[in-house]
Amino acid sequence: MFTLEIDGTAVAVINGDEETARDLFTCDGFKSDIRELTSAGKPLWNGTSELKVRPATEDEVEMFEDALADDDGSGDFEPVEAHADSEEDEDEADIVFLVDIDEEDEDDEDGQKLDA
């Protein structure tokens, strides 16, 4: 497993190999998402800080596994699935954010949402 770290904060963990983690965490779509997603009212990424991909710590792996185990399909948690070009199960990876993500629609009563 690998962790995305931004400015010293572990932001997300992926259960893929290093190449998959680097490809996903540095792709334009994911970069756009982490610029738009907020935690405590602040964007996860400012668009200029280094996106550091490193091996996940034992604590981060435990948080990842706990999040997947706690997901019964009815709560707020939904792992992000990352897919490679092939549609085989072994090419899929899950991403778990390690920071609390602000709810998109709390302040947005007119139904407009960020594109993911």
Give the model's confidence band at 103: pLDDT under 50 very low, under 70 low, under 90 confident, else very high.
confident
pLDDT at 5: 97
| 44-79 pLDDT, tens digit each | 999 999 999 999 999 999 999 999 888 765 444 444
pLDDT at 72: 60
The model's pTM: 0.74
pLDDT at 80: 52
Mean pLDDT, the chain, whole residue set: 81
Query: Helix, strand, coil % (nearest 5) of the chain?
Result: 30, 25, 45
**What's the angle, vertex CA 50, arms to CA 54 and CA 28, rounded to 5?**
95
pLDDT at 74: 46
